[in-house]
């Protein structure tokens, strides 16, 4: 368990019923050695008491810009913090923070810090799904704010749905990850994401259902681990500030971008779902229905993963993906052998809650370690795509360090 000894954390608690869980978060952070400064909003005081957090925290609770010992408490808190954690983060706090409004001690502290900020949204499903809330959250993510997403389960009033505050153990784990040493510091990582579109005419295209969620999760996880990250993507999804994005559409555009970006990369992750075929002669204008059924002649698209494997330099790690519907391991093993990759991450996209468009995934990672002819199979059970990303990067890191963590060899 990663110690937080000597780390100063501002724990902001806003006014939602989930504020009671912040008591456990506070206790766990202090137990790990952190100096916790609790800041409660007036709304939070309707759900939890000052005495509880003053007793469990490292200093007494602060609630106001005006009645503290320091004449500028938000500046003191913001400058001294190693991290600011808002748990729970209500829709009001997210909106106020996104708009840059400082109307209480907590929001003023959020604007007065250069430390990492972690928000843990918690609200009813209807509020969580409101476009204004999602837009505010996307804006904060683009600015570099870290989000511990809510879970799904029992809500206030007995309702069931999305919006339940993440469990305290998961909140604390996110803080530990951010404040722990950066294992990918100095690494240059390139990730492809999304599904390519091959034009039939200016309106229609051949494509697939890839949402880019897994590729973006890999990029975000690598960035959080300290890497310099470039994402070559076909989709517009939020990414932390500091990640370089290059937008492409077709397989050929992605090939050119990936081949160029991979030259100096330490880790190349080919997570995008690339169309296998494209029209030989796309129409210059929209094909009209009254002209009859068109004859569309297809040709293979470039094999980007094989191309990356052909130029892979010593020490570089190449990760490929295999989206399958049958013979998962056999197909993935063949791909690992043919494409020159070090890892293949395979999933059965026909399984429930796995693969395209879902927030969850279940994969098997096939890896051939340097100097070995055997291939290991590492099963990663159904989980959030960010945790799947973490598992993939753990294996990639072990290749660089020469660690041997698993013994599930394929014959």
- Bridge partners, 319 (sequence order): 269, 343
Active-site hit among 103, 136, 208, 408? 208
Q: How would you write 239-301 as a 3-class SS string? A: CCCCCEEEECCCHHHHHHHHHHHHCCCCEEEECCECCCEEECCCCCCCCCHHHCCCCCCEEEC
How does 252-262 read in b/e, with b if 16+ C-beta sit within 10 Å? ebbbebbbebb
Strands of 95-250 (E only): list them.
Answer: 117-121, 146-147, 151-154, 160-164, 188-193, 198-199, 205-206, 228-233, 244-247
Cβ neighbours of residue 202 closer than 8 Å, sequence gap 6 or more: 283, 284, 285, 286
- How far is Cα 234 from Cα 224, in angstroms, rounded to an integer? 22
Active site residue 361: no
**Cα angle 66-72-74, degrees, rounded to a multiple of 5:** 95
Handedness of CA 356, 359, 361, 366 (dihedral sign): positive
Neighbours of 213 (CB within 10 A): 24
Considering only CA atoms, which of 308, 325, 21 is closest in space to residue 154? 21
Task: Please name the residue that has the structure tokens 């191309």.
Answer: 307
- Bridge partners, 373 (sequence order): none
Q: Looking at the annotation, which residues are catalytic?
A: 208
């Amino acid at each position: 368990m990663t110690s937080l000894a000597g780390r100063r954390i501002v724990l902001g608690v806003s006014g939602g019923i989930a504020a009671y869980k912040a008591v456990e978060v506070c206790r766990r952070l202090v137990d790990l050695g952190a100096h916790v400064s609790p800041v409660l909003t007036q709304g939070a005081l309707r759900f939890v008491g000052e005495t509880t957090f003053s007793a469990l925290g490292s200093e007494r609770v602060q609630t106001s810009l005006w009645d503290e010992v320091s004449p500028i408490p938000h500046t003191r808190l913001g400058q001294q913090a190693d991290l600011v954690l808002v748990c729970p983060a209500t829709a009001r706090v997210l909106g106020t923070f996104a708009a840059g409004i400082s109307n209480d001690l907590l929001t003023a502290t959020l604007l007065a810090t250069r430390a990492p900020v972690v928000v843990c949204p918690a609200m009813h499903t209807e509020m969580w799904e409101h476009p204004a809330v999602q837009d505010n959250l996307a804006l904060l993510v683009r600015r570099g704010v870290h989000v511990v997403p809510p879970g799904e389960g029992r809500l206030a009033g007995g309702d069931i749905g999305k919006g339940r505050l993440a469990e305290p153990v998961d909140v604390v784990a996110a803080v530990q990850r951010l404040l722990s040493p950066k294992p990918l510091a100095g690494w240059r990582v390139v990730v492809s994401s999304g599904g390519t579109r091959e034009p039939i005419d200016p309106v229609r295209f051949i494509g697939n259902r890839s949402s880019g969620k897994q590729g973006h999760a890999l990029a975000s996880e690598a960035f959080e681990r300290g890497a310099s990250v470039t994402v070559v993507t076909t989709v517009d999804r939020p990414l932390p500030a500091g990640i370089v994005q290059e937008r492409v559409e077709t397989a050929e555009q992605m090939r050119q971008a990936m081949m160029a970006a991979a030259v100096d990369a330490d880790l190349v992750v080919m997570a995008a779902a690339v169309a296998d075929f494209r029209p030989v002669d796309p129409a210059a204008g929209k094909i009209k229905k009254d002209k009859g059924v068109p004859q569309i002649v297809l040709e293979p698209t470039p094999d980007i993963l094989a191309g990356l494997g052909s130029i892979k330099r010593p020490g570089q790690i190449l990760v490929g993906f295999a989206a399958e519907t049958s013979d998962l391991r056999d197909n993935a093993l063949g791909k690992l052998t043919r494409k020159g990759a070090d890892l293949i991450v395979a999933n059965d996209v026909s399984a429930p809650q796995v693969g395209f468009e879902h927030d969850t995934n279940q994969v098997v990672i096939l890896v051939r370690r340097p100097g070995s002819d055997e291939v290991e199979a590492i099963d990663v059970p159904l989980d959030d795509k960010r945790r799947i990303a973490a598992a993939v990067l753990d294996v990639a890191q072990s290749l660089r360090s020469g660690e041997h963590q698993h013994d599930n060899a394929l014959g």
